[in-house]
Amino acid sequence: MGDGGDGRLGGGGGHRYRARPRRGGDGRCGACERRRRTRVAPAGLERSAAVSDRIELRGIRVWGRHGANPGEKDRPQPFDLDLMLEVDLSAAERSDMLADTIDYDALHRGVVRIVQTRSFDLLERLAGEIAALALRDARVCRASISIAKPRLLDGTTPVVTLERVR
């Protein structure tokens, strides 16, 4: 996936990869828990616990062979995806280094590879595979994937949205 071999989208940049994220007593990801606490922004402004850092890839158009009905997998058809990752971006905010954030290009390539090379009956399963890809990076606390199949039904577009929390 172009991840530098440490399991993180965007390489390691000197940070050690942990097979399992640190978790508090309630089982939450340490990065998610830190984000819930108040912290100081670079300009000296306080960032409230309600602030959520996100990386989003919107409007990904990929052609693939997915579907449960006869004929749906016979030829590629378009799928429109939106992906949102909740991740602590404070290190990247301070360092201005790609290694401290999610590499959008690597993430995009991974999503495209799954849609183009795999084949599932259900959009739910496809979304689950993409969520698993995103959650391989221990810094990602939450992944939300929406997949639309625009040419399936006349007059409407079915969309499946799946959200997974570490």
Annotated catalytic residues are: 149
d(CA 135, CA 71): 32
d(CA 76, CA 38): 47
Task: Tell me how far the alpha carbon of residue 80 is from its chain's centroid.
Answer: 15
Using a 10 angstrom Cβ sphere, with 0-12 exposed, 13-18 middle and 19 or more buried, the burial of residue 79 is buried
Pick from 63, 59, 53: which is nearest to 118 by CA? 63
